[in-house]
Amino acid sequence: MTAPSSLDLLHPTLAHHVVNTLGWPGLRPLQREALAPLVGGEDAVLLAPTAGGKTEAAVFPLLSAMAAGGWSGASLIYVCPIKALLNNLLPRLQSYAGWMGRSAGLWHGDVGAAARGRILRDRPDILLTTPESLEGMLVSTKVDHREFFAGVRAVVVDEVHAFAGDDRGWHLLAVLERLTRLRGEPIQRVGLSATVGNPEDLLTWLQGSGAGKRPGRVIAPEVNRPGAAAPAEPPPGEVELDYVGSLDNAARVIAALHTGEKRLVFCDSRQAVEQLGAALRMRGVTTFLSHASLAVDERRRAEQAFAEARDCVIVSTSTLELGIDVGDLDRVIQINAPGTVASFLQRIGRTGRRSGTRRNCLFLALDEAGLLRAAALLHLWGRHWVEPVTPTPEPRHITAQQLLALCLQESQVGEHLWKEWWPGLEPFEHGEPIVAHLLREGFVERDGGMLLIGPEAERRFGRRHFMELTSVFTAPPEFAVLHGRTEVGRANPALLSARDEGEGPRRLLLAGRSWAVTWVDWKRQRCFVEPAEDGGGTARWDSTDRAGASFALTRAMRAVLLGTDPPVRLTRRAVAALATARERHSDHVWPGGTVITRAPGDVRWWTWAGTRANLTLRATLAGFTDPGQQAHDSYLRLREDADPAAWAAAREGAADRIALPEVSEKALDGLKFTAALPPHLAERTLAARLADVEGARTLLGEPTRFVVE
């Protein structure tokens, strides 16, 4: 008797289209392994590289279950972290659903009122949305949320690792718990992810509170995990590290290499994207740009043109790191280095999709710091190491936000029953002090044992139908930049108020072009521009979200300085620059532990531990460190009288009394919903996020050598 193929497990109509419409002879390994568990209703995290078929691995079995179980209404919710990814996925999911006589619809902030009305009248079987839009539907007076979500059976969370590592993840879990309570029974949860270091932990996190938790499993063919013995060979791919010294030199290299090919260049800031894009255009390279401060239509036009062109470059921040299709890509180029190995895997995964091609990435380092970061990251990659995904600690502000959102959703909530909406979910286990603060400050009111939205919440968050309440993040203010009636993007207001040297109109660099500012509408936060053909524009955005290097990455930088080369091709310029860096830091690294250098007026402890560990060490050794110093990845400044005896006394027992970093008022301003928390809890939340307790404890246990410079 012949064993059934993987296609036999699909619904027959779906199997027919897989073979005859898609032209596939069968399913990929991930898709085969996911089919039976997902049809059986299990929770899962599916891991595969970019373009590994994760979407089909989730949707095909759920469409089969939908047909077999007679699911009706909006029964499958597909959640993505960014709207552009949803836009990109919609046609594909509409096709798959259409094969089965089903439908798919899109709901996010850019979807107009008419399209939303159609969805409310004729609910799609698959709803593509973001967590913020999902919550917007729950609190909207125009949506009967109980009826609309009554048929939800499963949720697919695309790029789940992108959620789990920040506050949007806790927000997503809290919203899913509210959906589960509305549904009255557990909802199947399926996460899609690139390779992560702790997939079992990611699955446990995704399953949430565990109330009525379904069976779950990680499905990850051929995935490498940290902690295992590193293979002798580095991961497959053509990777090269070069040192070019400046963005202008990077533009020269990019313009000269790989002509006739489609290249995607990643930069670590919007400012660098603009500057590099302008420099490439000056050299006659067909160049497109993508970053968060460009208008949606501008980004969409650039991405579409790039997908259809051949000999061209698109320069992007991390906006194109996730699974948006940019066509048949030949090469990825990285300016300096991304912050994590996981990000690099996403980016290099953009290439090598055509038969006969290999994944590739060219790193162009602009300075010594960029070179060391790139070499360190490639060293970790060469060991098949990937960061574990760690949820942000102590998300008390999410608890406050969700309590207010629930009061909007339900109009009123029993003052002793609110916990039942999030049973056992970590942020809500100790929410009583937050509820007391919300009552005390007027964010909520008590009426006959019920909690309802209060005047202070309306004053702070009530504009535009409480839209601000559904967003977890605070973005710095930006001005809309308009050429006629067309929005080009958004600019930092500091550029508009700063005085320019010389005469003539102020000039901006946006969308890779220079613009002369003709008028600023300060009240409406708009400025009007005309093209400045002779150039001279300036680009600048606040970088308040720029994080320092992690403990693992900074330790890898130390390993590079001690002589370890990454397992990639190094150009002669990179070899020479690494030799210079190793010579310059020869007194700052020691294989036996850490180093303290003493020079007149400057005593430094070279920890190579990362920003968060160094902030934690500074707080723990308060009185022995310089309290006013800026945070650095590689070192801490100590008191000028630091000597071996004083150092030994300062370290005595310090590992048993680790302190959390101090929190500034400016940092608190960047945490949305701070006002809805008692001040001491808001400070505790941020301090926990700035800390690396384990990294600090590791450093305090290492030997130290003193060097006089």
Measure CA of the first residue to CA of the last residue in the chain; give whole Å. Answer: 79
Tell me the CB-side half-sphere exposure of residue 354, using CA atoms within 13 A: 8
User: Does residue 2 carry a pLDDT above 50?
Assistant: no
Query: Does residue 298 or residue 233 have the better pLDDT?
Result: 298
Residue 209: is its pLDDT beyond 90? no
CATH of domain 238-382: 3.40.50.300
pLDDT digits (tens, 9 = 90+) for 40-98: 999 999 998 777 789 999 999 999 999 999 999 999 999 999 888 898 899 999 999 99
Taking the mean position of all CA atoms in its chain, how far away is CA 269? Answer: 14
Q: Across-strand partners of 313?
A: 263, 287
Residues of the chain with CATH 3.40.50.300: 6-219, 238-382
- Residues 6 or more apart from 424 whose CB is under 8 A from it? 209, 210, 211
- Segment 652-681 shows an average pLDDT of 83
The pLDDT assigned to 128 comes to 98
Mean pLDDT (the chain) is: 89
CATH topology of domain 6-219: Rossmann fold (3.40.50)
Summarised one tens digit per residue, pLDDT across range 549-589 is 999 999 999 999 999 999 999 999 999 999 999 999 999 99
Q: Which two tokens stand for residue 254?
A: 């990019």
Rg, C-alpha atoms of the chain:
27
Query: pLDDT (tens digit, 9 = 90+) per residue, 390-399?
Result: 998 999 999 9
Which residues have C-beta within 8 Å of that of residue 199, sequence separation ≥ 6?
A: 45, 47, 193, 218, 220, 223, 225
Average pLDDT over residues 625-629: 80
DSSP string covering 463-503, please?
HHHHGGGG----PPP-EEEEETTEEEEEE-HHHHHSPPSSS
Q: What is the dihedral of CA 310, 313, 316, 318, to 10 degrees?
A: 60
pLDDT above 70 for 322? yes
> What's the predicted TM-score (pTM) here?
0.88
Determine the Cα–Cα distance for residues 364 and 312; give it in Å rounded to an integer: 18
pLDDT confidence tier of residue 472, bands split at 50, 70 and 90: low
DSSP 51-103: TSSHHHHHHHHHHHHHHHHT--SS-EEEE-SSHHHHHHHHHHHHHHHHHTT--
Pairing of strands 188-193, 154-157: parallel
Of the chain, the percentage scoring pLDDT greater than 90 comes to 66
Q: How far is CA 657 from the centre of its chain?
A: 33
Residue 127 tokens, joined: 């709803």
The residue-averaged pLDDT of 436-451 equals 94
